[in-house]
Amino acid sequence: MRWREATPGCRTGRGAELVRRTGRARLVLAVGLHRRYDLDEAFPGRDEVCMVTVVPSSRIRNVALVGHDGSGKTTLAEALLVATKAVARRGRVEDGTTVCDTEPEELRHHASLATALAPVTFGDVKLNVLDTPGLADFRPEVETALAVADLVVVVVSGVDGVQVGTRAVWRLAAAAGLPRIIFVNKLDRERADFERTLDELRDAFGSGIAPLELPIGAESRFRGVVDLLTDSATTYEAGVARQVPVPEDMATREHRVHDNLVEGIVVADDTLMARYLDGDTPSAAELEAALATGVASATVFPVVCGSATASIGLERLMTLACEIPTNRRASATAGGTRVEIPADPGGEPLARVIKTIADPFVGRVSLLQVVSGTLRPDTVLVNTRAHVEERLHLLETIRGKELTPVAEVQAGDLVAVPKLTSSLTGDTLAPKSTPVVLDPLPRSPAMLAIAVRPRTAGDEDKMMTALHKLVEEDPSLEVRRDDETHQTVLSGTGETHLAVALERLARKCGVEVDQEEVLVPYRETVAGPGEAEGRHKKQTGGHGQFAVVHLRVEPVGRGEGFAFVDAVVGGAIPRQFLPAVEKGVRRQMRQGGAWGFPVVDVRVTCDGGKFHPVDSSEMSFELAGALAFAAAVEQAGSTALEPISRVEVTIPASCQGDVLGDLTARRGRVVANETADGGEQVVVAEVPSAELGRYAVDVRAMTGGQGRFVATFDRYAEVSAQAAERLVRRRAVAV
């Protein structure tokens, strides 16, 4: 048997090796750190395979790159891949050749639209780099990445400084209590200013900001960094680092900033603080250890600087990421009891699906977070949502689109598993003997909805199947069929999110759709009491149809619903026919009253009628009941009702006036206005749902992208005169 360069779909490289079976016996392979595997057991039926070195939990760091759109996250991920020799050539976002941006929509928009995994090996540590989107519409992807991250690298453009997206991702990371490192990028660009950016970081995020480096040169002359902890300097030429003395013109400033940094670090350690006050300056190694502890506790936020395009400052960033200690624990429910699960590689295997990828060749690929234990090929776990067993036939590491088999994955790592039958994003995979349900992944609510219909007649079923496949890949999308308005409604986080979803719908599923305005589900109720008789008589050959029903209608309190009262005396209507009368009333209520909307909040009393011993039947009384109800509502008069949403808007204090004025213009009523943590304002208002169709777009425009809101249905209320006129015009057009 001859060696091959790689198996199909696999390429060898650092951290991977090609192995094969000998012709005479099983070949025992040393493919792990301190472990050996039998090829027959690990990959039965395969003669050779490209395998990735197994990394123990203690040497794994999941690092999320987050930041504003255009800050250079994908370029930084690409630079890390090249610097660690995980890939041979650097790709460019503009050319669509990066490892992380692989979908046609990402290449078309020149932006990341989903979180991509790009693992690299630095020293003996595996860094699972999670490249997240910066566009606000794809914030749920960031939330998922943060849910599995040990460390967050906030990428900030040295040209643009702290932006809206920077504040948004910082808020998410702070809410999760995650350690944060700030990488000031693009310092080789025109108008880049490290000092200005540093001041903005301090103003935005407080005194915990601790610069560890100073740039050497500025803009096009930016060529290296000074390390404040070690009092050393590194310059770069064509990506090659060279240790040099600290430039003379920076020495005074470097010593001043160094002293300030040391004081900021030793404050968190009483022993170091005492020594420092006695005149004993801690060593660089001691300062590094104290700094790592402060970062891990999310009280100190180091700032490093560089340029991803020029490959400057990458080693310091990776070194710092490797030094941060981890304390991975997951919250779960087991048998109704809340438990904390440590990331113990020797524990029972437990995993969570964090992403679902539809691969055109492999099929569905599930990206798992290994929460506890150790996974090996053919491990059998139970999906605790679907209550079905899932066999993990093959474990693979994923880098962009590239999949490489691995023989073992320990707690804390991320692994791709193809062809799971029933598992969706967010599902827990647990041992059969220990049914554990991990806490759900965080998910921002959908804020914008559109109605879609297939462009080709008769493709409704195909469209619904395709939409559900999209939701499997992207759970931040929601799809529902409104039986009342007969619309298919697709909801997402914003215009770009929905536009990309429709692009994927056409590309992946061959379904093109047209958009429509989402219709508001109005209701109506009776304006006062009314009564009427409904008569149904039909004579044909043989038995005829005969029924007479007398009904009284009256309004009830808003939200009380429907009540049917039996007040028939003297056997005017036999008891067995009264359920048919109620059925006819309910059917007519669904068909609508004078406005054409379903009727709600009404009490209907049946107090009389007539029957024929031969010709009366349940159908006759159902029809008579419907006729009587329609006539009684017409006599009583009806009032249209509209849905009211409770809206909670979170905005910067400076935008409060504009938002309050806009809510008033939307016929809203403000019920609360409070100051939240961080100085933001939280405005709670009751707003007619009909006025919120494009509120997601408008509130971002009013607040410069900083506003966000959550809307929930509250109740139905009588429409205003203005809304009533609009409904009259709508009915006239419909007719």
pLDDT tens, 430-454?
A: 998 888 999 999 988 889 999 999 9
- How many other C-beta atoms can be found within 10 angstroms of the C-beta atom of residue 560? 12
Tell me what pLDDT residue 22 has: 43
pTM: 0.86
Tell me what pLDDT residue 293 has: 87
Map out the domains of the chain as residue ranges.
1-53, 59-226+299-323, 329-438, 449-516, 523-636, 640-734
CA 602/CA 614 separation, integer angstroms: 33
pLDDT of residue 582 exceeding 80, the answer is yes
Tell me what pLDDT residue 466 has: 93
Which stretch of DSSP H or E encloses residue 255? helix 248-266
Exposed, middle or buried: residue 141 (CB in 10 Å: 0-12, 13-18, 19+)? buried
CA 696/CA 142 separation, integer angstroms: 19
- Dihedral sign for Cα atoms in the order 639, 640, 643, 649: negative
Q: For residues 569-594, give the mean pLDDT.
A: 93
Q: For residues 572-577, give the mean pLDDT.
A: 93
Q: What percent of the chain has pLDDT over 90?
A: 66
Give the pLDDT band (50/70/90) at residue 577: very high
Residue 453's closest CA among 419, 479, 428? 479
Report residue 248 as tokens.
């003379």
What is the DSSP secondary structure assignment for residue 408, as one 8-state letter? -
Tell me what pLDDT residue 544 has: 84
Q: Are 627 and 536 within 8 A, CB to CB? A: yes
Tell me what pLDDT residue 20 has: 46
Report residue 490 as tokens.
């697709």
Q: State how far the alpha carbon of 625 is from the alpha carbons of 232, 523, 533, 534, 593, in Å.
A: 91, 21, 9, 6, 14
CA 282/CA 221 separation, integer angstroms: 34
Which stretch of DSSP H or E encloses residue 578? helix 578-591
pLDDT of residue 35 exceeding 70, the answer is no
Q: State how far the alpha carbon of 102 is from the alpha carbons of 12, 345, 448, in Å.
A: 20, 32, 26
Domain 640-734 has CATH 3.10.310.10: no
Q: Looking up tokens 């930041």, which residue turns up?
A: 67
Return mean pLDDT, the chain. 88
Q: For residues 46-75, give the mean pLDDT.
A: 84
Give the pLDDT band (50/70/90) at residue 72: very high
**Low-confidence winner among 275-284, 367-376, 454-463, 477-486 (lowest mean pLDDT):** 275-284
What is the DSSP secondary structure assignment for residue 721, as one 8-state letter? H
CA 709/CA 697 separation, integer angstroms: 11
Report residue 253 as tokens.
């400033």
Question: DSSP characters for 446-513?
Answer: P-EEEEEEESSTT-HHHHHHHHHHHHHH-TT-EEEEETTTTEEEEEESSHHHHHHHHHHHHHHH---E
Q: State how far the alpha carbon of 194 is from the alpha carbons of 80, 217, 448, 698, in Å.
A: 22, 10, 38, 34
Tell me what pLDDT residue 49 has: 52
Tell me what pLDDT residue 423 has: 93
pLDDT of residue 39 exceeding 60, the answer is no
Q: Looking up tokens 């950016």, which residue turns up?
A: 197
Tell me what pLDDT residue 6 has: 31
Give the pLDDT band (50/70/90) at residue 262: confident
Report residue 66 as tokens.
């987050």
Task: Find all residues with CB under 8 Å of 202, minimum gap 6, and list them.
Answer: 209
pLDDT of residue 24 exceeding 60, the answer is no
pLDDT of residue 507 exceeding 50, the answer is yes
Q: Are 444 and 143 within 8 A, CB to CB? A: yes
pLDDT of residue 42 exceeding 60, the answer is no
Of 1-10, 202-211, 354-363, 409-418, highest mean pLDDT = 409-418
Task: Find all residues with CB under 8 Å of 359, minimum gap 6, and list them.
Answer: 365, 418
Tell me what pLDDT residue 41 has: 53
Q: Looking up tokens 């213009």, which residue turns up?
A: 665
pLDDT of residue 31 exceeding 50, the answer is no
Tell me what pLDDT residue 13 has: 38
Q: State how far the alpha carbon of 84 is from the alpha carbons of 88, 126, 318, in Å.
A: 9, 11, 10
Report residue 9 as tokens.
């779909």
Tell me what pLDDT residue 734 has: 53
Question: DSSP characters for 279-317?
Answer: T-PPPHHHHHHHHHHHHHTTS-EEEEE-BTTTTBSHHHH
Question: Given this chain, do its domains 329-438 and 640-734 carry the same CATH topology?
Answer: no
Report residue 234 as tokens.
């590194």
pLDDT of residue 541 exceeding 70, the answer is no
Tell me what pLDDT residue 47 has: 53
**Low-confidence winner among 183-187, 442-446, 503-507, 602-606 (lowest mean pLDDT):** 442-446
Give the pLDDT band (50/70/90) at residue 729: low
Q: Does 725 or 99 have the greater pLDDT score?
A: 99
| Fold annotation for 329-438 | Elongation Factor Tu (Ef-tu); domain 3 (2.40.30)
CATH number of 59-226+299-323: 3.40.50.300
Q: Looking up tokens 């970081």, which residue turns up?
A: 201
Q: For residues 691-715, give the mean pLDDT.
A: 92
Q: Please provide residue 209's backbone torsions phi and psi, each rounded to the nearest 5 degrees.
A: -70, 120
523-636: what CATH class? alpha beta
Q: For residues 498-513, give the mean pLDDT.
A: 93
pLDDT tens, 309-339?
A: 999 999 999 999 999 998 889 999 988 889 9
Q: Does 353 or 458 have the greater pLDDT score?
A: 353
- How many other C-beta atoms can be found within 10 angstroms of the C-beta atom of residue 533? 16
Q: Are 368 and 394 within 8 A, CB to CB? A: no
CATH number of 449-516: 3.30.70.870
Q: What percent of the chain has pLDDT over 70?
A: 91
SS3 sequence of 610-635: ECCCCCCCHHHHHHHHHHHHHHHHHH
Residue 665's closest CA among 645, 683, 690, 691? 691
Tell me what pLDDT residue 733 has: 52
CA 731/CA 735 separation, integer angstroms: 6
Q: For residues 372-400, give the mean pLDDT.
A: 93
Q: Does 15 or 73 have the greater pLDDT score?
A: 73
Exposed, middle or buried: residue 461 (CB in 10 Å: 0-12, 13-18, 19+)? exposed
Q: Are 481 and 460 within 8 A, CB to CB? A: no
CA 327/CA 320 separation, integer angstroms: 16
Give the pLDDT band (50/70/90) at residue 362: confident
- Dihedral sign for Cα atoms in the order 261, 262, 265, 267: negative
Beta-bridged to residue 330, according to DSSP, are 341
Give the pLDDT band (50/70/90) at residue 724: confident
pLDDT of residue 272 exceeding 60, the answer is yes
pLDDT tens, 154-212?
A: 999 999 999 999 999 999 999 999 999 999 999 999 999 999 999 999 999 987 899 99
pLDDT of residue 295 exceeding 80, the answer is yes
CA 192/CA 215 separation, integer angstroms: 11
In this structure, the chain runs to a length of 735
pLDDT of residue 347 exceeding 80, the answer is yes
Tell me what pLDDT residue 14 has: 40
Q: Does 457 or 116 have the greater pLDDT score?
A: 116
Q: Looking up tokens 């490489």, which residue turns up?
A: 404
pLDDT tens, 634-651?
A: 999 999 999 999 999 999
Q: For residues 676-694, give the mean pLDDT.
A: 90
Q: For residues 6-26, give the mean pLDDT.
A: 40
pLDDT of residue 621 exceeding 70, the answer is yes
Q: Looking up tokens 């569905």, which residue turns up?
A: 364
